Structure 1
Amino acid sequence: MKTTLIKEQEAMLAIIKSLPGNYLIVLPDAPQYTIVEVSEEYNAATLTKRNEIIGQAIFTVFPDDPNDTAADGVERLTASFQTVLTTKESHEMPVQRYPVPIPGTAKFIEKFWMPVNKPVIVNGEIVYIIHSVTDVTESKQLKSRETYFKALADESPFMIWRSAGPSCIYVNKAWIEITGLSFNDSLGSGHLRAFHPDDVAVQRQLFKHALDASLSYESTFRIIDKTGGARWVFMRATPSLVNGALVEYIGSMIDITEQEIAAQRLRESEQQFRQMADSIIQMIWVTDAQGMHEYYNKRWYDFTGTTPEQTEGEGWNQVFHPDDQERAWKVWRHSLQTGTPYEIEYRLRKHTGEYIWVLGRAAPFYDNEGTIIKWFGTCTDIHEQKLLQQQKDEFINIASHELKTPLTGLMANIQFMEKMLLKKPDADPLFNKLVGSSFNNIRKLNKLVDELLDANSIGMGQLTIIKEQFDLVALIQETTSYLTADKQNIKITGLSSVTVFADQGKIEQVIVNLVNNAYKYAPESEFVTIEVTDTEAGVKVSVSDQGKGIPEEKLKFLFDRYYQVESKSGRYSGMGLGLYICASIIQRHDGLIGVDSEIGTGSTFWFTLST
Structure 2
Amino acid sequence: MTQVLVCSNSEQRRREWRLALEAHACWRAVETASLNEALAVARQLPLHCAVLDQAVLDAARLPEFGCAVVVCGPDGGETAWKAALDAGAQDYYVNGGDARGLVSAVEKAAYRHEQHCALGDAAPHLIWTWRTDGTVDCVNRRWREFTGMSLEQAQQGQHWKLLRRADRHAAQTAYAAALESGQPFEMQCRIRPKEGRGWRWLQVQCVPVTDGAGRIARWLGTATDVDSLKRSELAMRASAGRFRRLFDENPLGIALEDENGCFLSVNAALCRMLGYQVEELLGRSFRGLTRHESPGIRALVRRDGTLVWTRIHEEEGNGQGQRFTLVEDITAHKAGEEERRLLVTVLENTPDFVGLARMDGSVFYVNRAGCRLVGLAGPEEAVRLSIEEYGYPDDLRLYREEIMPAVKRGEVWQGEIRFRHQATGEPIPMEMRAFAIFDERGRRIGFANVSRDIRERKAIESALQASERQHRMLIQTLPQMVWMTRSDGACDYLSPQWLEYTGVPEAAQWGNGWAQTLHPEDRERTVQSWTESVATGARYDIEYRLRRHDGVYRWFKARAVRLTDEHGRVARWIGVCTDIHDQKSVENALRRSNAELEQFAYVASHDLQEPLRNATIYAQLLERRCGASLDAEAREYLDNVVRSSQRMRQLVDDLLTYSRLSADCGSSVADPRAAVEVAIENLQELVRETGAAIQCGPMPAVQANQSQLAAVFQNLLSNSLKYARPGTPPVVRVEAAATEGVCTFSVRDNGQGFEPRYAEKIFGIFKRLHGASVPGTGIGLAIVKNIVERHGGTAWAEGEPGAGATIYFTLPVA
Scaled by the length of structure 1, the TM-score of the pair is 0.48
Q: Which has the larger radius of gyration?
A: 2
